[in-house]
Amino acid sequence: MKTLYAIQGTGNGHLSRARDIIPILKKKQLDLDILVSGTQADIQIPHPIKFQLKGWSFIFGKKGGVDVWRTFQKTNSARLQKEIKSIPVSDYDLIINDFEPVSAWASKLKQKQCVALSHQSAVLSPNAPMPKKPDPFGKMILQNYAPSTKRFGLHFKSYEENIFTPIIREEIRNVLTKEGGHYTVYLPSYSDKKIINILSKVKGINWEIFSKHNHSEYVSKNIRIQPINNEGFVQSMATSCGILCGAGFETPAEALYMKKKLLVIPMKGQFEQQCNGAALQEMGVPLIKSLKIKHIDQLKSWVEDNSRIEVDYPNITESIIDQILQESI
């Protein structure tokens, strides 16, 4: 069966998941092509990519949210339309899509079936937690960004049929965890200066910050800043006391799987992260709205609190793929 696996390349979560999904797809003896669109990823996949596209990416800012102006500047509608028309979706028997807009819209325009396998598919479920403050514009973007004909979702809990617990990559499942003497920090929508300014006020704590904004490692008092890299980040998480991160999906899920203390800060103006924040809070994970001085007491309280959230995330990746293939034949 000729199959196109299309992956969102903005951020690291989708590509991290793909590193485990692709070998399983290949194991099923599919005639597999891979498409990646987007920017700002720090992870590579060790497989040939047939279609490498710019797509439509949201650019991380440095003040806790999406940089709307830079996103607008980087969005070339003529190029995007050309990319959509260039993908020969009619050549494929099956298209599996992880929140990737080019192949999704190419499929919609050609009236071709497109199967979504993504966290975003689960977020849109009426049974999944929603933030108290409605965001109709953000929800509309999420609903229309990568349209599909069938949805398989991934979330922190299985809220309904066809919503599965997170795909935890093998390197996380296999890493040796221990309680070290530092906290791991990944907040790509904040500048290093902003993060250092706040975290330096929490005395006696060693912070390891992984940065999208800096290309060299340096130390400032009790804070170590280093460029984001997969191996270093995994080791830092595995040996940390706790993890401070945005309310994305993969990093919080991996932190919970490793039984690490977790604190999340949802990105401003990012509907998916607001939904994730609501889901994590429902599970008992603490959340602060922003990285500001007024929230420093909540940050200190989290450091002093040793409670953990228990989760059960079995390795069901292959069974999810089997179900997709069975229902797509």
Based on DSSP, count helices (H) and strands (E) in the chain, helices before strands: 13, 13
Specify whether 128 is located in the same domain as 239: no
pLDDT value for 54: 82
Residue 192: pLDDT above 70? yes
Specify whether 41 is located in the same domain as 69: yes
Specify whether 11 is located in the same domain as 102: yes
Residue 189: CATH number of its domain: 3.40.50.2000
Specify whether 36 is located in the same domain as 76: yes
Express as a percent the part of the chain with pLDDT over 70: 92
The domain tally of the chain equals 2
Specify whether 63 is located in the same domain as 83: yes
Specify whether 20 is located in the same domain as 97: yes
Residue 180: pLDDT above 60? yes
Specify whether 175 is located in the same domain as 97: no
324 belongs to a structural domain: yes
Specify whether 132 is located in the same domain as 220: no
Q: Which one is predicted more confidently, 61 or 8?
A: 8
Residue 295: pLDDT above 60? yes
Residue 309: pLDDT above 90? yes
The secondary structure of the chain in percent helix, strand, coil, rounded to multiples of 5, reads 40, 20, 40
89 belongs to a structural domain: yes
Residue 240: pLDDT above 90? yes
Q: Which one is predicted more confidently, 67 or 205?
A: 205
Q: Where are the beta strands (DSSP E) in the chain?
A: 2-8, 31-37, 51-53, 94-98, 115-118, 150-154, 163-164, 183-186, 207-211, 218-220, 223-227, 242-246, 261-265
Specify whether 118 is located in the same domain as 179: no
Residue 55: pLDDT above 80? no
Q: How confident is the model at residue 59 (pLDDT cuts 50, 70, 90)?
A: low
Residue 94: CATH number of its domain: 3.40.50
116 belongs to a structural domain: yes
pLDDT value for 160: 95
Average pLDDT along the chain: 90
135 belongs to a structural domain: yes
Read off the pLDDT of residues 79-99 as tens digits, 9 standing for 90 and up.
888 999 999 999 999 999 999
Read off the pLDDT of residues 261-283 as tens digits, 9 standing for 90 and up.
999 999 988 899 999 999 999 99
Q: Which 3-state string (H, E, C) describes 42-110?
A: CCCCCCCCCEEECCCCCCECCECEECHHHHHHHCCHHHHHHHHHHCCHHHCCEEEEECCHHHHHHHHHC
pLDDT value for 74: 57
Residue 211, strand partner residues: 227
Read off the pLDDT of residues 118-173 as tens digits, 9 standing for 90 and up.
999 999 999 999 999 989 988 988 999 999 999 999 999 999 999 999 999 999 99
Mean pLDDT score, 318-327: 96
Residue 103: pLDDT above 90? yes
Specify whether 250 is located in the same domain as 324: no
Mean pLDDT score, 163-191: 95
Residue 285: pLDDT above 70? yes
Mean pLDDT score, 186-204: 92
309 belongs to a structural domain: no
Alpha-helix residue ranges (DSSP H) falling in 151-191: 170-174
Mean pLDDT score, 110-125: 95
Mean pLDDT score, 174-178: 96
pLDDT value for 58: 57
Residue 193 in tokens: 């200066």
Q: How confident is the model at residue 41 (pLDDT cuts 50, 70, 90)?
A: low
Read off the pLDDT of residues 14-34 as tens digits, 9 standing for 90 and up.
888 999 999 999 999 999 999
Mean pLDDT score, 198-214: 92
Specify whether 247 is located in the same domain as 158: no
Bridge pairing between strands 150-154 and 163-164: parallel
Residue 105 in tokens: 């819209």
Domain span at residue 159 reads 2-167+314-328
Q: How confident is the model at residue 233 (pLDDT cuts 50, 70, 90)?
A: very high
Specify whether 151 is located in the same domain as 79: yes
105: helix, strand or coil: helix
